[in-house]
Amino acid sequence: MTSANSPETLIGIRDLKVDFRLDRTTISQAVKGISFDIPVNSTVALVGESGSGKSVTALAILGLLPRENSTVPPGSQILYGGRNLLVLAPGELQKLRGADISMIFQEPMSSLNPVFSVGFQLTEVLTKHLGMTGRQARVRALELLREVGIPEPETKIDAYPFQLSGGQQQRAMIAIAIACEPKLLIADEPTTALDVTIQKQILELIAALQKRLRMSVLFITHDLALVGEIADYVVVMREGEIKEQGGVEQIFEAPRDAYTRALLLCRPQLERRPRRLPVIDDFLKPGPLAGGSLEERSRGLRGDEEIILEVRHLGKSFYSREGLFGKREFKAVKDVSFKLARGKTLGIVGESGSGKTTVALTLLRLRGESSGEALFDGKDLLSIPPQEMMPYKRRIQIVFQNPYASLNPRFTIGQLLMEPLQVHGIGSNESERRDRVYKLLEEVGLPEVSFFKYPHEFSGGQRQRIAIARCLTMKPDVLICDEAVSALDVSIQAQVLNLLQDLQDEYHMSYIFISHDLAVVKYMADQVMVMNEGEVVEVANSDDIYRSPQHPYTKKLLSSIPQGWHGARAR
Amino acid sequence: MTQAAALAIGVQRAESPGLWTLAWRRFCRDRVGLASFLIVVFFFGLMAASGLHLIAADWSKEVGVNYAPPTFMGPEVADGGQAAPESHGGERAGESNPFDPLAGVLAEIRAAAGAASVAEAQAPTLVFGGDRWGRDVLQKTIKGTETSMFVGLVAALLAAFLATVFGALAGYYGGWIDDFFNWFYNVFTSIPYLLLILAIAAVLNQKGTLTVILILGLTGWTGIFRLVRAEYLKHKVREYIQAADAIGASHARRMFVHILPNVSHVILVQLSLHVVLFIKSEVVLSFLGFGVGVDTVSWGSMLNEAQSELILGYWWQLAAATLAMALLVTGFSLFTDALRDALDPKLK
């Protein structure tokens, strides 16, 4: 977009630097001198992994950087209408915010004020910036709610945020953001917290509003595939620097920077299933470009595999008290049956609230009583008494979603990994156990010094490796991965997926792989089970289900996957 | 991949600071906290030295004249000040009461002891004044510090221990166990605090340090209990506890090996807050006459004596006890504040 024939520029960012003071002596450079333009009436996507400085850039445009510990060195400029926003008086800036430049955030639930109705929050903007009267503002608010596609705006205008679904909350947030018809809308990961079907709707809404209101959108995301459909320009950031910027076609068709190429290829794709996913290092290291082996891995069950776990009619209800004596039943899981073959992977996909995590936790008996049976080695795991459960606990293990929450922060890695060995009496003495742990650390790609460190010293991907290593200490037959890679960056995701695949090849473990990310499940799973509202909608071999989905819900789910640049072009 | 991970870790420091080390580093950055920490350490030193009879061992010796004024005010103040000693001498005329049947015996005793007490002349002034019997107020204060701090610390430990056990059980298990402890808690808190203390004092029916500790410890656990229970409720559904359950850790292990270290900062901060609270409560109890026995001295008993002295214009005992208490309580409170800031990972 630095080319000569660039259209009129709305906001120009020139050599923007932002420093954060961590403590008295340490200063971290969050943004290291970046320059790019946001043209009028177009969508610019700012793409990067966590810590790349993309959100900081957005906050700098709005003048919302935390005052206590952030500094913008002189020389940085954010030009808007001939004025430098960085040196504007706070009062002036406040007039621009909300009126000319507005923002929507990642978490709609926490960015709407829970104690005010949607209507109140919407009319507040209108009366404040446009000087409307209460009555005018309410009429306009209704119009806006209709515009962002909230059903029954007359009743929803008086609803409180908790009475709306996640998608509706994000729509309300967008309504507030576009209330004053801003020239620039900044969308900071607006769909990351939403389900894939809702994500599609919100993306379409933002794209439609951009065209209709002729505004510019700065779309911030970690998912490069997502922006292929909506962006005109793409800026790729990494560690505070711009790696590459250009038109969307150039970025997707002929990426010049190795990091951009890596981002595009590290994510599992629906069309291909390489034996090993390429990781960022494959691209950044000098030498012949690996790009992952092109050999494809074949997936699927033939039907004659040994069945290790058979679940029949699994049901799980939660009860909430109602009135004095009554209780209300909520069926989280209804009549779920499946078989898991040895050495194979069953993928469970579904949107939030579909009961996929409840299935996993119920199998491990982490969720109290349930109905149905789960036959493991001929024993029903759900009905044996807790004392007899111990030997089976060893054999079914789980990796949780959030590696920051699943490791006890007060334990060293050594303690964390030694504990299962001690509890189950594996290994004859401490030194033998320690040797085992060292071996496992090596296997998951962590150095031996990790033994004495604490979880807070590791990054998300490393922590997830530790969590995997903890499960491996017990040499389980079945490993449940509950959204195990969802919280990780794209590049880290590929590493952890490769690790899981290597371990399965080596130990012949069976995986139950739970995820909302359909591309990741396609890559990992032999068989896919689709769940919706606690029920199994469809079970089939993964290639079949993606090629020819049978159930309407599966079709809807699959059509919501972001198609990326190529997919969008093909349509 | 392995190399990348190795590199990433190699960049980090070789030694690995634990969470406590990090907390200590944060604490050291807080100047007020550090100063208050030194005050607390000083008082602990005082308490230990006094407990080992290194200082203030002979606090009960009558080394000065009655109500000896502080040295920095000079001896004449006492004479000028309402001629107090004289009038007091009048009060103590009871000693030479002609109708006293024991007068003869007392005279003999006094004659026997007289040789010693007359030998070392009673000082006209003392460093920080003397009390009714001419005991050194400074030494008395030090001895009182020992008693008061000991009571406060042990009672707080007892209360924190009870609260932790109750709170862990209630919060972790939930259900009827939780109900039981909550009822117990409600009963305890529904009785006015002072009334409860007096009731327990009446039941124990015995004066002494141990009684005070029991009274305070048995009534003071409620606040900590509620916090510990809430922490356990919060932590028992965390993923790391589910992970511990998944690897087969027992209930007791999850409760005390996994969760307890993660809530220890709450307990520690509450512990030091309650030390302060109980030191003040001991003063109140002693003031009300339910405090330590007559043979021991605490800040409370000093304040209790001071109320009659103040009318006569002898302010130094009151000042000494108040000053020591104010210093420790303020120091301890600030220390607690700093401790909470340093230990609470959320405030980082």
CATH of the domain at B204: 1.10.3720.10
Q: How confident is the model at residue B299 (pLDDT cuts 50, 70, 90)?
A: confident
Question: Quick check: B246 contacting A, CB < 8 Å?
Answer: yes
Q: What value does the mean pLDDT take over residues B60-72?
A: 71
Instruction: Compute and round to an integer the Cα radius of gyration of chain A.
Output: 26
Euclidean distance between CA atoms B274 and B162, whole angstroms: 13
The chain-wide mean pLDDT, for chain A, equals 86
Question: Tell me: the pLDDT tens digits for A125-158?
Answer: 888 888 889 899 999 999 999 888 888 888 888 9
Task: Return phi, psi of residue A29, to 5°.
Answer: -90, 105
Euclidean distance between CA atoms A416 and A465, whole angstroms: 12
The verdict on A404 and A520 lying in the same domain is yes
Domain hosting B233: range is 18-55+136-347
Chain A's closest residue to B243, CA to CA, is A406
Quick check: is A109 in a domain?
A: no
Instruction: Compute and round to an integer the Cα radius of gyration of chain B.
Output: 27
Quick check: is B7 in a domain?
A: no
Per the structure, the count of domains in chain B is: 1
pLDDT of residue A88: 85
pLDDT at A4 over 50: no
Quick check: is B104 in a domain?
A: no
Question: Tell me: the pLDDT tens digits for A12-42?
Answer: 999 999 988 877 777 888 899 999 999 999 9
Cβ contacts of A454 on chain B, cutoff 8 Å: 16, 18-19
Question: Quick check: B14 contacting A, CB < 8 Å?
Answer: yes
Q: Which of A23, A283, A321, A406 to mutate to probe the B interface, most B CBs <10 Å?
A: A406
Question: Quick check: B344 contacting A, CB < 8 Å?
Answer: no
Asked if A405 and B247 come within 8 Å (Cβ–Cβ), the reply is no
Give the residue with greater pLDDT, A2 vs A331: A331
Percentage above 90 pLDDT, chain A? 23
Question: Quick check: B244 contacting A, CB < 8 Å?
Answer: yes
pLDDT at A188 over 50: yes
Q: How confident is the model at residue B56 (pLDDT cuts 50, 70, 90)?
A: confident
B5, B247, B262 member nearest A446 (Cβ): B5
Pairing of strands A345-349, A510-515: parallel
Amino acid, res. A489 = D
Question: Quick check: B347 contacting A, CB < 8 Å?
Answer: no
Q: Which residues pair with A20 in a beta bridge?
A: A28, A70
Asked if A495 and B12 come within 8 Å (Cβ–Cβ), the reply is no
B8, B19, B243 member nearest A406 (Cβ): B243
Cβ contacts of B244 on chain A, cutoff 8 Å: 408, 419
The verdict on A416 and A535 lying in the same domain is yes
Q: Token digits for B334?
A: 């600030």
Quick check: is B83 in a domain?
A: no
Question: Tell me: the pLDDT tens digits for A411-464?
Answer: 888 989 999 999 888 888 888 999 999 998 988 888 888 888 888 878 888 888
Question: Quick check: B20 contacting A, CB < 8 Å?
Answer: no
A394, A402, A465 member nearest B239 (Cβ): A402
pLDDT of residue A5: 46
The verdict on A508 and A394 lying in the same domain is yes
Q: What value does the mean pLDDT take over residues A274-283?
A: 80
Cβ contacts of A394 on chain B, cutoff 8 Å: 248
Give the residue with greater pLDDT, B50 vs B348: B50
Give the residue with greater pLDDT, B1 vs B272: B272
pLDDT at B83 over 50: no
DSSP string, B327-344: HHHHHHHHHHHHHHHHH-
Furthest-apart CA atoms within chain B: distance in Å: 102
Which secondary-structure segment (H or E) carries A413? helix A413-424
Domain hosting A54: range is 1-88+214-255
DSSP state of A198: H
Asked if B248 and A424 come within 8 Å (Cβ–Cβ), the reply is yes
A397, A401, A410 member nearest B262 (Cβ): A410
CB atoms within 10 A of CB A124: 17
pLDDT at B82 over 60: no
Q: How confident is the model at residue B86 (pLDDT cuts 50, 70, 90)?
A: very low
Q: How confident is the model at residue B215 (pLDDT cuts 50, 70, 90)?
A: confident
Quick check: is A184 in a domain?
A: no
Contacts of A65-72 with CB under 8 Å at 24 or more apart are A65/A18, A69/A20, A69/A21, A69/A22, A70/A18, A70/A19, A70/A20, A70/A21, A70/A30, A71/A18, A71/A19, A71/A21, A72/A16, A72/A17, A72/A18, A72/A19
Quick check: is A286 in a domain?
A: no
CB B317 within 8 A of CB B87: no
pLDDT of residue B2: 43
Question: Tell me: the pLDDT tens digits for A189-200?
Answer: 888 777 888 888
Asked if A462 and B242 come within 8 Å (Cβ–Cβ), the reply is no
Q: Which residues pair with B155 in a beta bridge?
A: none
Task: Return phi, psi of residue A297, to 5°.
Answer: -105, 135
Half-sphere exposure of A520 (CA within 13 A, CB side): 29
Question: Tell me: the pLDDT tens digits for A506-522?
Answer: 989 999 999 888 888 98
Which secondary-structure segment (H or E) carries A11? strand A9-21
pLDDT at B91 over 80: no
CATH number of the domain encompassing residue A521? 3.40.50.300
Quick check: is B342 in a domain?
A: yes
pLDDT of residue B8: 41
Quick check: is B73 in a domain?
A: no
Q: How many CB pairs under 8 A join A and B?
A: 96
Cβ contacts of A462 on chain B, cutoff 8 Å: 5, 8-9
Last residue of a domain, one of A234, A255, A276: A255
Quick check: is B333 in a domain?
A: yes
Q: How far is A286 from chain B (nearest CA, A)?
A: 14
Half-sphere exposure of A525 (CA within 13 A, CB side): 31
Asked if A361 and B1 come within 8 Å (Cβ–Cβ), the reply is no
Asked if A459 and B19 come within 8 Å (Cβ–Cβ), the reply is no
Euclidean distance between CA atoms A468 and B28, whole angstroms: 37
Question: Quick check: B235 contacting A, CB < 8 Å?
Answer: no
pLDDT of residue B79: 46
Cβ contacts of B242 on chain A, cutoff 8 Å: 361, 366, 398, 400, 406
Asked if B247 and A393 come within 8 Å (Cβ–Cβ), the reply is yes
Chain B's closest residue to A460, CA to CA, is B5
Asked if B16 and A408 come within 8 Å (Cβ–Cβ), the reply is no
DSSP string, A44-86: EEEE--TTSSHHHHHHHHHT-S-TTTEE--TT-EEEETTEEGG
Euclidean distance between CA atoms B283 and B13, whole angstroms: 50
Q: What value does the mean pLDDT take over residues B29-54?
A: 87
Torsion angle, alpha carbons of A418, A412, B157, B56, to 10: 120
Quick check: is A539 in a domain?
A: yes
Quick check: is B110 in a domain?
A: no
Cβ contacts of A474 on chain B, cutoff 8 Å: 247
- Is the pTM higher than 0.90? The answer reads no
Q: How confident is the model at residue A528 (pLDDT cuts 50, 70, 90)?
A: very high
Q: How confident is the model at residue A288 (pLDDT cuts 50, 70, 90)?
A: low
CA B343 to chain centre: 22
Asked if B9 and A446 come within 8 Å (Cβ–Cβ), the reply is yes
The verdict on A558 and A425 lying in the same domain is yes
Chain B's closest residue to A279, CA to CA, is B1
Residues 249-268, chain B, touching A (beta carbon < 8 A): 249-250, 253, 258, 261-262
Cβ contacts of B238 on chain A, cutoff 8 Å: 405
Question: Tell me: the pLDDT tens digits for B30-39?
Answer: 888 889 999 9
pLDDT at B113 over 80: no
pLDDT at A61 over 60: yes
Asked if A407 and B240 come within 8 Å (Cβ–Cβ), the reply is yes
pLDDT of residue B88: 43
Quick check: is B275 in a domain?
A: yes
Quick check: is A222 in a domain?
A: yes
Asked if B1 and A446 come within 8 Å (Cβ–Cβ), the reply is no
Per the structure, the count of domains in chain A is: 2
Chain A's closest residue to B13, CA to CA, is A457
Question: Tell me: the pLDDT tens digits for B160-188?
Answer: 999 999 999 999 998 899 999 999 999 98
Cβ contacts of A409 on chain B, cutoff 8 Å: 19, 240, 262, 345
Quick check: is A292 in a domain?
A: no
The verdict on A236 and A349 lying in the same domain is no
pLDDT at B78 over 80: no
Last residue of a domain, one of A202, A235, A255: A255
pLDDT of residue A106: 81
Quick check: is A141 in a domain?
A: no
Percentage above 70 pLDDT, chain A? 96
Asked if A459 and B262 come within 8 Å (Cβ–Cβ), the reply is no
Last residue of a domain, one of A199, A226, A255: A255
pLDDT of residue A6: 53
Chain A's closest residue to B261, CA to CA, is A410
A446, A457, A467 member nearest B16 (Cβ): A457
CB atoms within 10 A of CB A3: 7
Q: How far is B247 from chain A (nearest CA, A)?
A: 6
Asked if A405 and B19 come within 8 Å (Cβ–Cβ), the reply is no
pLDDT of residue A35: 92
Q: How far is B332 from chain A (nearest CA, A)?
A: 26
Closest among B283, B330, B325 to B145, alpha carbons compared? B325
Q: How far is A43 from chain B (nearest CA, A)?
A: 35
Quick check: is A330 in a domain?
A: no
Cβ contacts of B261 on chain A, cutoff 8 Å: 408, 410
pLDDT at A474 over 80: yes
Q: Which residues pair with B187 in a beta bridge?
A: none
